[in-house]
Amino acid sequence: MNTDAGSNAIAVTDEGRFIGSEAEDTQFHARLARHFAREIEGTAMPAPPPEPVPPASMRPALRANQRTNGPQAPEDLVDRRFRKEKVIGEGTLGMVFRARQMALGRSVVLKEVKAVFQLASYLRRDELLLRLRERLESSASLDHAFVLDILDQNLDRETPYFVVPLAETNLRSHIDTSEDRRLPASAALRIVAQVAHALVHAHERGVLHLGLKPSNILFDSAGNVRVSDFGLATLTDRTSPVDSGSLPPMVVGGGLVPYLAPERLLANGDYEPSTDIYALGVMAYEMLAAKLPGRRSPMPSEVCDVPEAFDDVFDKMTRDDQNERYASARDLVKDLSEALPGEWVGTSEDALLRVDDAPPELSVPEAVSASRAPTSAAHKPPPVPSD
C-alpha cells in the first residue's frame, strides 16, 4: 500500500491493482490508509493443499515382526508390567495368556476375567469383582508345595486380570496324550497323594476348591502337582434364596460335570471338604482306568496294577452320600498311607519329587513314576512345609 501524506490521494496496491480517491479531509485519508494497511497485512496466506495420500495398496507393508515407533498396543502391554505373548487357553472366566513380567523378565500366566461378566447377567459387575477378590485373596493365603501361587492381580480396570506362575503342562493334556489314555499306576497314585496333601492344607484353612478337574492339576519342572484356581468354580453360583428361588441350578465355571459331586449340581448344595474329595476320586479312576467311573464300573485293582486296599479308599471317596465319604482330606491321607507305599503318602516330604529325581527330558508321567534316588549332600533340597 502506498500513501502520499502531502496530497489528498490514496493509492492502495493489491496484486497490481490501483485504488484511488480524491478528498479534502487529510485526516480521513490518513485513517483510511492505516485501516487498509492493517487489513492487507492481517490477511493470512492461503494454506498449501495437503499432499495426496497414496492408496493402501501402494504403501509398503510392515513385516510381521516389525514394530512401529509409536506406543505399545494396549492389547500387548498390560499395566506397563506384563507383555502378553500368546494365547494358551480360553476358560469360563476369559482368556489365558502366556506373558512376560517386564520387571523380572520371567514368563508367567496372565488370566483376563472377561467372559464371566456375560455369563452371570443376574449379578452386577461389582458383585462379581468382590467375589473374585475374596477368592484370589483366599488362594493367595495358601503356602504349600502342591498349591499354585497367586503372583499379582488388578481388578480395578476395565478388563480385570490375575497372574500365576507358568506351568507348561497339566493333567488333562497328559491323560489325552498317554498311551491308552491312562497313566502308569505309580504315577497316578503319586498324583492322588500330592493333591490330597494340597487339600489338607487348603481345607484346614477354610478354603475349598469346588471345581477340581484335570485341567487345573498343573505340574512343575520336576513333575510335582500344583493345584490351581481354588474357589473360582463357584464365582457365579447363586447363593441366596431370592436369587435361586425356582431358578434351575447354575454351575457356571464349576468344572466339568463328570467331576462334580452330586451336591454341586443342586441349587443350594452343602459344600464340604468331601466335595473336593469326590472330584479327586473321579480323577484317580480316570488316570488308572482310562475312563470315568460309573455305578457298575469295576474297582481300580480289577483294571490296573494297584493294591486291593486302594479299592476301599476309592469307594469311600466317591460315595453319592456326603455323609458316607471322607469327612476330611487328612482322613483320606491317613487311609492312603495305609493302602499305598508309605514313602508316597505319609507326609508332603514323602510325596514330593525332587528335580534331581526327574531328569528334565522325561515327560511328566515318567517323571512322577521315577525312582526316588538318594539326594547328595551337595544337592540336598530345602525342607518342605508340613501340612
- For the ranges 49-53, 312-316, 353-357, the lowest mean pLDDT is seen at 353-357
> Does residue 149 sit in the same domain as residue 293?
no
| 3-class DSSP state of 96 | strand
Last-in-domain residue among 121, 136, 165: 165
Distance, CA of 300 to CA of 286 (rounded, Å): 10
pLDDT value of residue 263? 93
> Burial letters for 151-186: b for 16+ Cβ neighbours within 10 Å, e otherwise?
bbbeeeeeebbbbbbbbeebbbebbeebeeebbbbb
In 3-state terms the chain splits into helix, strand, coil percentages (rounded to 5) of 40, 15, 50
pLDDT value of residue 166? 96
Identify the band that residue 300 occupies on the pLDDT scale cut at 50, 70 and 90.
very high
Max Cα–Cα distance, the chain, nearest Å: 130
Instruction: State the cell numbers at 211.
Output: 471345581
Top mean pLDDT of 116-120, 235-239, 350-354, 382-386 is at 235-239
368, β-bridge pairs = none
Distance, CA of 96 to CA of 161 (rounded, Å): 10
Cα–Cα nearest to 227, from 252, 256, 191, 263: 191
Is 90 exceeded by the pLDDT of residue 85?
yes
Is 50 exceeded by the pLDDT of residue 358?
no
Residue 266 lies in a domain: yes
pLDDT value of residue 348? 58
Contact 352, 224 (CB under 8 A): yes
Last-in-domain residue among 107, 131, 165: 165
For the sheet containing 217-219, what is the strand order? Answer: 169-170, 217-219, 225-227
Angle (CA) 190-141-126 rounded to 5° is 120
Tell me the pLDDT tens digit for each residue of 304-338.
Answer: 999 999 999 999 999 999 999 999 999 999 999 99
165, β-bridge pairs = 108
Residue with cell 471322607: 326
Share of the chain above pLDDT 70, in %: 63
Total Cβ atoms within 10 A of residue 191: 29
Cα–Cα nearest to 287, from 356, 193, 201: 193
Cα–Cα nearest to 289, from 305, 278, 277, 300: 300
For 41, counting Cβ atoms within 10 Å of its Cβ (0-12 exposed, 13-18 middle, 19+ buried), the class is exposed
> CA separation (Å) from 126 to 30, 119, 242?
74, 15, 18
Question: What residues make up the domain containing 222?
Answer: 169-240+249-379
- For the ranges 79-83, 112-116, 213-217, the lowest mean pLDDT is seen at 112-116
> Does residue 232 sit in the same domain as residue 337?
yes
DSSP classification of residue 104: T
Tell me the pLDDT tens digit for each residue of 144-175.
Answer: 999 999 999 999 988 899 999 999 899 999 99
> Does residue 209 sit in the same domain as residue 320?
yes
Q: At what angle do helices 273-289 and 329-339 cross, to 10 degrees?
A: 30
- For the ranges 121-125, 275-279, 352-356, the lowest mean pLDDT is seen at 352-356
Q: Report pTM.
A: 0.69
How far is Cα of residue 200 from the mean position of the Cα atoms in its chain?
A: 24
The CATH number covering residue 153 comes to: 3.30.200.20
pLDDT value of residue 24? 56
Identify the band that residue 269 occupies on the pLDDT scale cut at 50, 70 and 90.
confident
Is 50 exceeded by the pLDDT of residue 19?
no
Higher pLDDT, 276 or 94: 276
Residue 65 lies in a domain: no
pLDDT value of residue 50? 62
Helices within 161-272 (DSSP H only): 171-177, 185-203, 241-244
Identify the band that residue 57 occupies on the pLDDT scale cut at 50, 70 and 90.
low
Residue 386 lies in a domain: no
How far is Cα of residue 233 from the mean position of the Cα atoms in its chain?
A: 13
Give, rounded to a whole angstrom, the gap between the first and last alpha carbons of the chain: 98
Last-in-domain residue among 133, 150, 165: 165
> Does residue 127 sit in the same domain as residue 194?
no
The CATH number covering residue 371 comes to: 1.10.510.10
Domain count, the chain: 3
Amino acid letter, residue 224 = N
pLDDT value of residue 313? 98
Higher pLDDT, 244 or 232: 232
Is 70 exceeded by the pLDDT of residue 340?
yes
> Does residue 126 sit in the same domain as residue 184?
no
> Does residue 127 sit in the same domain as residue 236?
no
Residue 54 lies in a domain: no
Is 50 exceeded by the pLDDT of residue 247?
no
pLDDT value of residue 42? 56
